[in-house]
Structure 1
Amino acid sequence: MHDDHDMHDDHDDDHDMHDDHDDHDMHDDHDDHGHGEPVGGVINRNANRRVIGYREEFWIQDQYTPNDQWTINLGLRLDNIHGYIEAFQVSPRIGVTYAPNKRHAFRAFYGRLFTPPNLEALPFLALNLEGTTAEPEDDTNIRTKPERSHYFEIGSTHAIGRSTVIQLTGYHKYSTNMADAHQFQSTPMLNYFAFERGWQQGIDFSVKTKLSNTLTARGNVAWGRCKGFGLQSGHFLLHGHELRDIQLPGGTYCDHSQDITSSAVVTYRPFTNTTITAQMFFGSGLRSAEEGQRTNSGNEDSNTTYNLSLTQVFPFAKKQKLLLAVDVVNLFDQQEFLNTGEQSVGLGVSHANMPRSVFFRAQWFF
């Protein structure tokens, strides 16, 4: 039993109670919008996100060669998906190649493409994030629809001398519900969303040459652009200024829209079973923007990575062989940010390149 004095000691007086729970402390705990406890349960008991998907595919294709110079490829594809969303499409495709001789060839292609959304999409229908730091600025939540595209490509291939082949390709892809992905905060999982429409286009030039019996090289340089217009889904993933920029008449560049990319590979075989390979990869910079500027209106800094590989093969009886290799990624240990995670649509956190890393491989062929 407790007498009145003990009870008074436990709950001293009105002044003490006011010190513990004064208005100032309450204001600190619930400072402003988006900081504090959720209004309701963060995940309710019906928040089972399991999705089982089914997909039926049927395609038929044929090749017709009326003579040595012309080749025609025809195809028809049917896609039918169930689960996350119900959708169906019939996709015709046609490709034509003209080769006036064995050293030159010209080609053209048109295809209707169908890309369903990933089953790993994370809709927030069963989440209650109101009043938390993860509360979206726009809680619109629409299922991501399949991307439906018209794809056009033209190109040519030319043999120069006995040891060099060059190739030039141009493409344009126009999409409805153009698919993209967003890295939500620091999680490595991607959330998939779609622009209402968009286009991708580019030009690629490549060359492959044999410099000697032991030395070969190949490389390519490409220019490309990608733009999205309007937002079909994923509103809850984006900030308010990103939503506004996407809705503007001029559209928004995609995060991965680097203007220039290139690569080069040199392979040297000093001995029959020994191969040394050097690689170079260059990117002019992913999309970003300065503070206060339109989303993805600028670029990150360019970056270049060099890799080196040494492979040795040991032959054995009955055509068996052992392959041992060492690979060095980022040979010069260049420290670069691929993106800073700011003023871009689909990248919420910074990404740096891999530090210099050494990998060892062993393979047995039998």
Structure 2
Amino acid sequence: MGRSGVLVRWWYGSLFSVCLIGNVPFSWADDVETIRVTASRLDRAREALQPSIGATQTHFSRQAIEANPGGDNAGLNSVLLQAPGVTQDSYGQLHIRGDHNNIQFRLDGVALPEGVSVFGQALMTRFAHDMSLTTGVLPAQYGFRQAGVIDLKTKNGFDDQGATLSLYGGARDYLQPSVQYGGHRGKWDGFFTVDAVHNRVGIENTTSKFTALHDLSNQYHILGHLRYTLRPETRFSLTAGVSNAWYQLPNNPGQQRQFATPFFKEQGISPQAANVDSSALDEHQQELTDFAILSWQENHTRFSAQTSAIIRYSSLRYSPDLVGDLVYNGIAQRASRSVFSSGVQNDSKWKIGWGHILRAGFQAYGERNTTKTDSLVYPVTDGLIGDVPMRVHDGSGKTGVLYGAYVQDEWSLLPHLTLNTGLRFDGVREYVNAHQLSPRITLVWEPWRGGRFHAGYARYFTPPPFETLGNTSLGKFADTSAAPENFQNDKVKAERDHYFDAGFMQEIKPGWHVGFDAYLKRARNMIDEGQFGAPVILTAYNYRRGKVHGYELTTDYTSGPLTLYGSMAWSRAMGKDITSAQWNFDSDDLAYMRHNWVHLDHDQRWTASAGGNYSFFYKTNHPLQLSASMVYGSGLRKDRSLPSGSDIPNGASVPNYVTFNLSLVQTLKGISWLGNGRTQFRVDVINLFDKRYMLRDGSGIGVGAPQYGLRRTIMGGISYTL
């Protein structure tokens, strides 16, 4: 039998052993410390498969996550906003270095295929033991989504053992109970967590008032992580999660009716909607995500690898207010979209000699995208709009593949000089067929102790986001109130970039670091996304040309119980000439952008964040931690009105803002009347000074409605760990 046959038999034999192992005694099952050391060594080996050589990486430790207001109860976006170059947007969206949602999420180094969720975050902060954000010139193992790579190291049965019960809540009916458990037995270890969320702040308020109209949200999230160490060199792991979220869409009062009250022919009467008010609409959206990752890891003296099988299903369903949507929009559309993805990822490392580490791997995914809409629209005859709605059914499905492979060499030219070169090949066969061979090269120089310079170049290939593409049959809406201004609908194309990055990091004194980074991107067929129409479903489109550049300044300081950090970023992101999905845009806007550069809707000139925490009595069993954070934004884009009555798309920005958050956490350990566990009380104040600020004003390319930041919110919680 050939070598490949032996490997196949070993692979299936190992899986069979994992399935049957049960309560079989092991020769080293009782040596907990040996297993713990082995698990830690395998974790380090897995992380070494995907280094950040020459890239810019921000690491969030478990302590940093817990110090963030809300701790594990806060969303991932609130943690990531403390990283340089990260801009907040409505619906919980993040923009990194001038890109729109071009973000890759990984769990323990394994990339998750993208989903269709807009509001909900399928990955919760409490899943992560720690996490990192990597930007800049990425090594060749990172493909497809390259503005930023967010990698969560999931909690496990060794580092996060014990059972924790938590209850968190506060203003606006906010209630979030959760439970988590981590433990190990023999060669097994695992972690499990589940939480539920109920509140009236599911989506950003459309007004500056304290409480939004019609903003109830109910959600639950589940994550399980199970690992089996077959031997010191071999480990299997299974990670699976579920996220289910239901939202009311906030109403925007005071809107002007655009159409007459509909007369439903099948009932023969006009419903009691003649006085329908935009503050009383009833629109809903549900978002569901399921995923699972099965991984096999090998670690030997000179060779290590991890191979993973991945599946993910996500769906989004929008339910309109039938009468209200017709009156204000001329279309009431029940819409659903889903994506099912399955694939495989492999990353390998081979130490081929002194100063040389060769890495290689591949990714391949099969995806199925389905879109269905059921619309009520008014018929239009000879320019006259009728009042009896007609139904338009539309739907499409598409199966596609996404694939990539890479090889790269980490070469230590000198003891303090490292060159990392790589070559990556990516392809997509979905709504478009495209491929590209992309070189990557970075140079890292450490000329003196504590100093580190880096410079690099990357060629990037970004396929169209499959989950935001649909094949709307525009002809079905001809001669209706939902007919587009133009019927041009060219396919969204893959983006191709030249990306440059350079910067340095210097340790001023032990515990104090200062860094600076500059980047430049030149794009062809630059991809952007926007919301067009009432359903809050993002739609992708291309600018023929794009240019993005910016600068980042960071600092952090740690000394004993004190931690301080801060960052400031300047960015400019612009595009020219819309070349796909044109039917979503006004003809005047298309004509203007054909000959003029415009700011991207998420372009924010200045972004800054800062914070710190201090732990009182940190050497005792009752530490008291005080934390504070700040976020500043100079404002996202909006249209600029001209005296002629026309607009310059994204020609102005909303007002700047700054918000402060405060957190106080008291921990009690070993207090007899509380049992032998750890009890933790926390109080969080979001937007401490109750700043009224706007994220969107409702104008701009692909912006559906105004959105305002959260007003002052006081939260509290208690958790008990056995």
TM-score by length of 1: 0.81
In 2, the alpha carbon distance for the partners of 1:124 and 1:352 equals 32
Which of 629, 633, 642 does residue 283 from structure 1 map onto?
A: 633
Residues 277/84 of structure 1: CA separation in 2 closer, same or farther (3 Å cut): farther
CA-based RMSD: 2.9
Which of 130, 134, 153 does residue 501 from structure 2 map onto?
A: 153
Question: What residue in structure 2 maps to residue 100 of structure 1?
Answer: 447
1:306-333: CA deviation from partner (whole Å, max 9, x where unpaired): 22233455568xx986666444332333
Residues 168/83 of structure 1: CA separation in 2 closer, same or farther (3 Å cut): same
Question: What residue in structure 1 maps to residue 695 of structure 2?
Answer: 338
Question: What residue in structure 1 maps to residue 436 of structure 2?
Answer: 89
What residue identity is the alignment partner of 1:279? Answer: S
Q: Greater relative contact order: 1 or 2 (C-alpha under 8 angstroms, separation 6 or more)?
A: 2
Give the number of equivalent residue pairs. 331
Aligned partners of 1:277 and 1:309 also within 8 Å? yes
After TM superposition, give the deviation of residue 201 of structure 1 in Å: 0.5
Question: What residue in structure 2 maps to residue 223 of structure 1?
Answer: 570
**SS of the residue aligned with 2:414?**
coil
Residues 358/247 of structure 1: CA separation in 2 closer, same or farther (3 Å cut): same
Question: What residue in structure 1 maps to residue 490 of structure 2?
Answer: 142
Question: What residue in structure 1 maps to residue 650 of structure 2?
Answer: 296
| Percent of pairs with identical residues | 30
In 2, the alpha carbon distance for the partners of 1:91 and 1:218 equals 35
Aligned partners of 1:151 and 1:171 also within 8 Å? yes
Question: What residue in structure 1 maps to residue 521 of structure 2?
Answer: 173
Aligned partners of 1:34 and 1:131 also within 8 Å? no
Gaps of 5+ in 2: 1-378, 671-675
**SS of the residue aligned with 1:52?**
strand
What residue identity is the alignment partner of 2:637? Answer: R
**SS of the residue aligned with 2:591?**
helix
**SS of the residue aligned with 2:593?**
helix
Aligned partners of 2:380 and 2:479 also within 8 Å? no
Larger radius of gyration: 1
Question: What residue in structure 2 maps to residue 263 of structure 1?
Answer: 609
What residue identity is the alignment partner of 2:698? Answer: G
Aligned partners of 1:227 and 1:254 also within 8 Å? yes
Question: What residue in structure 2 maps to residue 182 of structure 1?
Answer: 530
**SS of the residue aligned with 1:144?**
coil
After superposition, residues 245-264 of structure 1 pair within 5 angstroms as 245-248=592-595, 250-264=596-610
- State whether structure 2 residue 392 is matched by structure 1 residue 42: yes
What residue identity is the alignment partner of 1:176? Answer: R
After TM superposition, give the deviation of residue 187 of structure 1 in Å: 2.8
**SS of the residue aligned with 1:188?**
coil
Gaps of 5+ in 1: 1-28
After TM superposition, give the deviation of residue 37 of structure 1 in Å: 6.9
What residue identity is the alignment partner of 1:276? Answer: L
In 2, the alpha carbon distance for the partners of 1:314 and 1:116 equals 50
What residue identity is the alignment partner of 1:86? Answer: N
Aligned partners of 1:275 and 1:312 also within 8 Å? yes
After superposition, residues 344-359 of structure 1 pair within 5 angstroms as 344-359=700-715
After superposition, residues 9-28 of structure 1 pair within 5 angstroms as none
Which of 194, 197, 201 does residue 542 from structure 2 map onto?
A: 194
**SS of the residue aligned with 1:241?**
helix
**SS of the residue aligned with 1:345?**
coil
After TM superposition, give the deviation of residue 41 of structure 1 in Å: 5.6
After TM superposition, give the deviation of residue 32 of structure 1 in Å: 8.6
Residues 267/132 of structure 1: CA separation in 2 closer, same or farther (3 Å cut): farther
- State whether structure 2 residue 516 is matched by structure 1 residue 162: no
Question: What residue in structure 2 maps to residue 6 of structure 1?
Answer: none
**SS of the residue aligned with 1:166?**
strand
1:275-325: CA deviation from partner (whole Å, max 9, x where unpaired): 322111111111123323421222111011222233455568xx9866664
